């Protein structure tokens, strides 16, 4: 029964397998690549996920709560879509209000020098690079690289249980806090 609970708590079987795989690769040193940031050049954080209705808007709101200049977008976002209902409910548990959020497609973002583009899965950065080209992406990272222990995969909670939504948002909250502390410690200009 406990294995079923673990699967449910991680968003499903595939999500659990990806979490384990990307956690292992992060511990083997892959996470260092995503933490190698020239903080003196960072002016804004751009959080990118699939639909821009759960993970990235929550990360953006948490970053702003910490005084950082942040925006969010989705690779497959429906322009103007509201945050997912469960995202709104779960975000409220973290004192974050997502009721006014409206989704933005990644192609609507004007990427510029000084952006730190942060994805939630390795696929996000790969797809973004293929879509807009790496000449527009100044620096990139994966949010899970800032977790302790690091994990390069934060599964999409959309359609998952309320339990997984809370676990996912808890990971995002902790990772954004660590990212914000690193920016402050290094004197980055990503704050408002």
What are the two backbone dihedrals, phi and then psi, of residue 82, each rounded to the nearest 5 degrees?
-75, 165
Q: What is the DSSP letter of 94?
A: T
Query: DSSP class of residue 102?
Result: B
Burial status of residue 40 (CB atoms within 10 A of its CB: 0-12, 13-18, 19 or more): exposed
Planar angle of CA 105, 108, 114, nearest 5 degrees = 110
Q: CA-to-CA distance for 85 and 90, rounded, in angstroms?
A: 9
Which residues are bridge partners to 191 per DSSP?
A: 68
Q: pLDDT tens string for the chain (192 positions)?
A: 355 555 556 666 776 667 766 666 766 677 788 889 999 999 999 999 999 999 999 999 999 999 999 999 999 999 999 999 999 999 999 999 999 999 999 989 998 999 999 999 988 888 887 777 655 677 899 999 999 988 888 999 998 889 989 999 999 999 999 999 988 887 665 555
Q: How far apart are CA 160 and CA 9, in angstroms?
A: 9
Adjacent-strand bridge partners of 123: none
Q: What's the CA gap between 26 and 31, in Å, rounded?
A: 5
CATH architecture of 2-185: 3-Layer(aba) Sandwich (3.40)
* Collapsed DSSP state (helix, strand, coil) of residue 95: coil
């Amino acid at each position: 029964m406990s294995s079923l609970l673990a699967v449910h708590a991680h968003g499903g079987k595939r999500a659990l397998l990806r979490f384990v795989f990307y956690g292992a690769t992060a511990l083997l040193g892959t996470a260092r690549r995503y933490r190698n940031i020239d903080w003196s050049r960072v002016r804004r954080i751009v959080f990118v996920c699939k639909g821009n209705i759960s993970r990235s808007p929550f990360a953006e709101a948490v970053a702003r709560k910490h005084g950082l200049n942040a925006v969010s977008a989705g690779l497959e976002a429906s322009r103007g879509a509201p945050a997912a209902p469960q995202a709104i409910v779960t975000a409220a548990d973290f004192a974050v209000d997502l009721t006014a959020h409206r989704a933005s497609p990644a192609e609507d973002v004007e990427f510029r020098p000084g952006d730190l583009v942060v994805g939630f899965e390795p696929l996000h950065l790969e797809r973004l690079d293929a879509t807009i080209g790496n000449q527009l992406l100044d620096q990139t990272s994966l949010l899970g690289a800032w977790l302790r222990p690091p994990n390069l995969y934060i599964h999409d909670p959309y359609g998952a249980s309320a339990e997984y939504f809370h676990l996912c948002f808890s990971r995002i909250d902790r990772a954004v806090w660590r990212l914000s502390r690193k920016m402050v410690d290094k004197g980055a200009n990503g704050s408002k």
